[in-house]
């Protein structure tokens, strides 16, 4: 079965450290999304790409977060420096065609910043 792969599944780090999360979208999908899930805020859209081009990253703190797609098989989300309030589950999702088609989610990266 085709699936979205995220690594690592879990990450524990100390405040101030750099964190990099990786995502391999489903082959042939041309849209990629990063969402963050917390109990308080639910699922928040951080950034998204179409055909590897960033379309919008207004959902994430620009001073510490960055999202890139170096190639069609890899999307990265980086936090530098990390803060305790960044603790959450980060999901990558991919889709075909337009932005509002059904999404396929990875299993997420659970991040704890101490």
Residues that bind other proteins (CB under 8 A): 4, 33, 35, 42-43, 45, 48, 56, 91, 93, 98-100, 102-108
DSSP state of 25: P
CB 104, CB 33: distance < 8 Å: no
Q: How far is the CB of 81 from other proteins (least distance, A)?
A: 27
CA angle at residue 10 from 5 to 13, to 5 degrees?
130
CB 35, CB 46: distance < 8 Å: yes
Q: How far is the CB of 86 from other proteins (least distance, A)?
A: 19
Nearer to other proteins, 76 or 107 (CB): 107
Nearer to other proteins, 62 or 98 (CB): 98
Helix, strand, or coil here: 88? strand
Q: Hey, what's the torsion of the CAs at 99, 104, 110, 113, to 10 degrees? A: -10
Nearer to other proteins, 19 or 90 (CB): 90
Q: How far is the CB of 55 from other proteins (least distance, A)?
A: 8
Q: How far is the CB of 60 from other proteins (least distance, A)?
A: 13
Nearer to other proteins, 13 or 37 (CB): 37
Q: Which two tokens stand for residue 38?
A: 């917390």
């Amino acid at each position: 079965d085709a699936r979205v792969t995220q690594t690592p599944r879990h990450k524990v780090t100390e405040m101030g450290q750099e964190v990099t999360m990786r995502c391999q979208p489903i082959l042939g999908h041309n849209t990629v999304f990063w969402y963050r899930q917390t109990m308080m805020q639910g699922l928040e859209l951080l950034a998204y790409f179409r055909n590897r081009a960033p379309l919008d990253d207004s959902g994430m703190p620009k001073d510490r977060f960055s999202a890139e797609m170096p190639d069609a098989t890899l999307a990265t989300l980086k936090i530098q420096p990390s803060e305790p309030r960044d603790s959450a589950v980060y999901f990558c999702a991919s889709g075909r065609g337009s932005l509002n088609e059904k999404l396929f989610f990875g299993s997420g990266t659970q991040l704890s910043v101490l």
